Amino acid sequence: MEKARLLEFESKCVQEEPPYCQAACPLHLDGRALCAFVREGRIDDARKLIERTLPLPEALARICDAPCKEACLRRELGGAIELGALERACVEQGPLRRAPLLIPKNGKRVAVVGGGLSALCAASEGIRKGYSVSVFCAEDRAAALTALSPLITDEIARRELAWLEKGGVLFLPLEDLPPLSELSVRFDAAYAGLDDPFAACATAEATASVNPVSLETSLRGLFAGGAAPSFILRAADGRRGMKSAERFLQGASLFSSREKEGPYATRLFTSTEGMASAEPEAVPQEGYSPEEAIREAKRCILCECMECVKHCAYMQHYKGYPKKFAREIYNNLSVIQGTRLANGMINSCTLCGRCERICPNGFSMADLCREARREMLRQEKMPPSAHDFALEDMRFNNSPRATLLRHEPGKETSAYLFLPGCRLAGCTPEQTTALYAFLRDRLEGGVGFWLRCCGAPADWAGRDEELHREAAKITEEWESMGSPVVVAACTSCLQTFRKATPSIKAVSLWEILEGTELPEGALSFERTLAVADPCTAAQAPEIRDAVRNVASRAGVRFEEPLLSGEFSFCCGFGGLQESANPTLAALSAKTRGEESSLDFLVYCAMCRNLFAQAGKPAVHLLDILFPQGDEDPAGRPAIGYSEQQENRVGLVRALRASLWKEEDIVNEPHESIRLVIPPDVEKTLAKRRILADTVRRAIWSAERSGRKMKQINGALVASLRPASVTYWVEYAPKGDGSFEVRNGWSHRMFVAGAAENLVPDASEGDGA
């Protein structure tokens, strides 16, 4: 990833933008951080923050007129935070512990004319920059500060002045001020604080016109400000004037990139939707007590964006936000030698795009992670096992025994081609059969049947070459059927088709059902459900509308969760999260399930399956339209991958035999292996992503080749390495010719002697 691309991603995330109060503060005091410290009773930390930010912290914290209150989001929710009173409480509830500045002098001499607030703040900024600062002011230096407010006592004023003197400020009497014509000769630069009448009078000729951006005057090297009524704006002018002096001495532009030196509009976005109003804590004349300060600080909403993070189990799991993730991914891709710590995070995003739709600036973690996955593959740094299981499942689903492409029985052309998708065919083959019969009855011109994987796993894994190969095969198969309209039951298939094969005209099953008479015998469903749209339908309002219309016509009562429709997020399967990070996928399904206390109404077979695994009752709309049995479909258990594959193969054989009268169906050799798998072992295999088909292949190859190991307990161990993962199966032959499976495990290591690719050739299968 190029650095420019990283910056493009980073610029869209506003989480690190300053809060509204800080951006509106002329001196940029972080009110959010201040409130966070105070509400936790960390007054020392709050005082340190004030000391680091304000040029004269003891004085300014007591008299701050808080112009930031106009920008506070609490202003419309009970009243703005009393930040000025909180600053005062912080400095009054214990002294500041300011160490003297130890900044070496750089040889530059700067004059400050006047002893008012603006001039003294300019002097403070000057010594922080290493200048030798001379302040020309009245003999009673403390009087200018004490005159500002009764809250600034003579003792406080003298402490501020003493700190300036320790930092190297030289205070000189007014009569020592040289004429303006000589000021630029004796000093390298100068600042006049116009809140001091003497300074305003002495520099009147040069300060008749002052540039509002740079504060430069008609006299070269002299800058002036501080005439504003606001104390904080006077102080800010002192800081701005000394910044201009610094630029002048460096020969830099006095005007460029100065937009954020004073108050400015932050890009931060903070939602206050649903936030309760709360009245400010009344400010006593003597100021807040510690308890009152804490209560007021707790009113602060601690402005931040985090809109996408609030609704994403993935981001919450990895404890970050998009801009942080972008930097981590960029660094991860830049590693030449060493550990790539962000691999897991990159491969675990569901790519659902909800963050982009929620983000006020459209930040897309999906785009970021897709690009990173492609780059990892290009660099040959993609962990082989990250998406290996899903890709092997895709290849199985596109193997001859798991695919089917036929015109409607008795017809030689097809106006439509029904594509049920991998999960619907694997989870509910009987329902798939009933649905196909219904479509044949309702649609004219012939409805063909097309069972194959759309290639979504390759797309999600960033394997563009494999996706393009599948897209070419898909196009070829579609054209061989006469280029009919594809009716896709799965929104992921539809999304992939529209991306990878845009020439294919494809519509959603639900759009077709919306325009037809619904089947007789639909299930009468009494209780109200919550619609759970699949993430791949988030940007397809026509599909979402069709589903709701069909559900209403079927008599289903339903409600919309708070963030449904275009803001739907993934169940944990999309983007291959379930393959790369099963634990996080389970959390995603659980989080999605908590969006509503009602049972879900879904129209994605994989969503229903993952919700069932997470314990969330979910009813597929097809369960209502084409009920299978009398039991409550919401209680149907999840279907494991092994069973899905077996169901799919069984569906192909059943349809070929019943509809197309094809009797020449031959098992692959390894399918003759009969397994006995105890329930606890079956659970272990499922958790470790070891399919029954893989177990059969491993045992078949071991029994055929003799490459197996015998353990002390008499059990045999066989291995199989079909791709990048090696599988091991512990088994024992039984007297009836079956094999008892006792254990199974897998790893990425290459073990010399382990059986590799000892699987039957696809040509030995039944074909399609």
The full DSSP string for 576-601 is GHHHH-HHHHHHHHHHHHTT-SSPEE
**Under a CB-based contact definition with an 8 Å cutoff, are residues 612 and 637 in contact?**
yes
**Under a CB-based contact definition with an 8 Å cutoff, are residues 157 and 142 in contact?**
yes
Distance CA 167, CA 129 (A): 11
**Under a CB-based contact definition with an 8 Å cutoff, are residues 730 and 668 in contact?**
no
Tokens of 44: 């020392």
Distance CA 439, CA 484 (A): 14
Tokens of 45: 């930390």
Q: Return the exposure string of 572-605: e unless at least 16 CB atoms fall within 10 Å of the residue's CB, then b.
A: bbbbbbbbbbbebbbbbbbbbbebbebbbbbbbb
> DSSP string covering 497-518, please?
HHHH-TTS-EEEHHHHHHTSPP
Which pairs with CB-CB distance under 8 Å and at least 24 residues apart come from 743-746? 743/681, 743/684, 744/681, 744/684, 744/685, 744/688, 744/690, 744/695, 745/688, 745/690, 746/688, 746/689, 746/690
CA atoms in the 13 A half-sphere facing the CB of 387? 28
Tokens of 684: 């272990």
Tokens of 96: 């500041």
Which residue, 161, 173, 175, is CA-closest to 120?
161
Residues 6+ apart with CB under 8 A from 510: 543, 546, 547, 550, 603
* Identity at 658, one-letter amino acid code: S
Distance CA 521, CA 157 (A): 88
- In sign, the C-alpha dihedral spanning 330, 336, 339, 340 is positive
Note the pLDDT of residue 666. 63
Residues 6+ apart with CB under 8 A from 517: 442
Are β-strands 529-531 and 485-488 bridged in parallel, bridged antiparallel, or unpaired? unpaired
> DSSP string covering 294-312, please?
HHHHTT-------HHHHT-
Q: How far is CA 155 from the centre of its chain?
A: 52
- Torsion from C-alpha of 236, 242, 244, 247, nearest 10 degrees: -140
Note the pLDDT of residue 475. 97
- In sign, the C-alpha dihedral spanning 746, 749, 751, 757 is positive
The position carrying tokens 């600042």 is 191
Distance CA 602, CA 226 (A): 65
**Under a CB-based contact definition with an 8 Å cutoff, are residues 14 and 360 in contact?**
yes
Instruction: Note the helical H segments in 402-455.
Output: 422-427, 429-442
Fold classification of 109-250 is: FAD/NAD(P)-binding domain (3.50.50)
Which residue, 343, 349, 423, is CA-closest to 574?
349
The position carrying tokens 């300074």 is 199
Collapse the DSSP code of 300 into the 3-class scheme (helix H, G, I; strand E, B; otherwise coil) and give the result: coil
Which residue, 423, 442, 424, is CA-closest to 433?
424
Q: Summarize the chain as % helix, strand, coil (round to 5).
A: 45, 10, 45
In tens, the pLDDT along 165-179 reads 999 999 999 999 999
Question: In angstroms, what is the C-alpha Rg of the chain?
Answer: 36
Tokens of 332: 């991860």
The domain limits of the chain are 19-97+293-301, 109-250, 307-378, 388-514, 529-636, 669-764
Give helix 641-658 / helix 388-397 axis angle, nearest 10°.
Answer: 10
Which residue, 255, 249, 234, is CA-closest to 111?
249
Distance CA 193, CA 226 (A): 5
Distance CA 98, CA 57 (A): 10
- In sign, the C-alpha dihedral spanning 156, 162, 164, 170 is positive
The position carrying tokens 């005091």 is 29
Distance CA 567, CA 569 (A): 6
CATH number of 19-97+293-301: 1.10.1060.10
Note the pLDDT of residue 526. 84
Low-confidence ranges of the chain (pLDDT < 70): 336-339, 664-666, 723, 748-768
471: left (phi over 0), alpha (psi -120 to 50) or beta: alpha
The position carrying tokens 């930097």 is 327
Query: What is the distance between the terminal CA atoms of the chain, rounded to a whole angstrom?
Result: 42
Give the single-character DSSP code of 485: E
> Angle CA(243)–CA(246)–CA(248) in degrees, nearest 5?
110
